[in-house]
Amino acid sequence: MSTSIGQNNFENQLEDMVRSFVQEKLETVMKEEMNQFFEENPELKNYKNGSYGRQLDTKYGRIEDLQVPRDRDNAFQTEMFQPYQRYEQWLGETIVTMYHKGMSTREIGNFLEHILGHAYAPGTISNITDVVMEDIRAWQERLLQKRYAV
């Protein structure tokens, strides 16, 4: 029994190490993006203005305090994610795929809680699927071929 507790503790430590490594690399890439932005736009009379913290759900779990660099005029935008985006694109694609397969929003929420360690409300999942509802309807109403190769 003590082996499983130790094993669980080790897994948590390993997950924390991976998340902190991912956070460190994301922050490094964003800082380099900002430096490159100012090199490409020397005409801008703009200054760096520190950073702001935000959370981001990744394949490796939730990063709670990701430091995103900013400038005074808000001209810089990272290419890593869109403004106000709280999860990577893979998450939206995964939710839509599970929805295509017939999983309910509550089942999807339980699955994501197991993977990310954070629960999404069924309403949030429904909002994510509403964004691509036209694609889902087109896929559901597509014409089927008479024969399919097996």
pLDDT tops 60 at residue 5: no
Are 80 and 93 part of one and the same domain?
A: no
Are 93 and 105 part of one and the same domain?
A: yes
pLDDT tops 90 at residue 57: no
Are 76 and 94 part of one and the same domain?
A: no
Are 117 and 64 part of one and the same domain?
A: no
The token pair that represents 122 in the structure block: 């069924």
Are 127 and 71 part of one and the same domain?
A: no
What is the extent of the structural domain holding 140?
A: 88-149
Are 9 and 82 part of one and the same domain?
A: yes
DSSP tag of 87: B
What pLDDT is recorded for position 124? 79
Q: Is the CB of residue 119 less than 8 Å from the CB of residue 109?
A: yes
Are 76 and 108 part of one and the same domain?
A: no
Are 103 and 65 part of one and the same domain?
A: no
Residue 78 belongs to what H/E stretch?
Answer: none
For residues 125-136, average pLDDT: 73
For residues 55-82, average pLDDT: 85
Residue located via tokens 């699927």: 129
**How many structural domains comprise the chain?**
2
What pLDDT is recorded for position 122? 82
Res. 69 pLDDT band, cuts 50 70 90: very high
Between the ranges 45-49, 66-70, 79-83, where is the mean pLDDT highest?
A: 66-70
Domain endpoint, select from 86, 112, 129: 86
Domain endpoint, select from 86, 105, 140: 86
More confident residue, 14 or 116: 14
The dihedrals phi and psi of 115, each to the nearest 5 degrees, come to -75, -50
Domain endpoint, select from 86, 105, 124: 86
Q: How far are the Cα atoms of 6, 69, 103, 139, 141 from residue 34, in angstroms, in the given order?
A: 42, 7, 41, 40, 45
Are 62 and 105 part of one and the same domain?
A: no
Are 101 and 78 part of one and the same domain?
A: no
Q: Is the full-model pTM beyond 0.95?
A: no
pLDDT tops 60 at residue 4: no
Res. 67 pLDDT band, cuts 50 70 90: very high
The token pair that represents 147 in the structure block: 């024969």
Res. 148 pLDDT band, cuts 50 70 90: low
Cα gap 62→12, rounded to integer Å: 13
| Listed residue (86, 34, 89) closest to 64, CA to CA | 86
For residues 70-74, average pLDDT: 87
pLDDT tops 60 at residue 141: yes
Are 92 and 44 part of one and the same domain?
A: no
Are 2 and 68 part of one and the same domain?
A: yes
Which residues lie closer than 8 Å to 77 by C-beta, 6 or more apart? 83
Output the average pLDDT for the chain.
Answer: 80
Q: How far are the Cα atoms of 26, 90, 97 from residue 16, in angstroms, in the given order?
A: 15, 21, 28
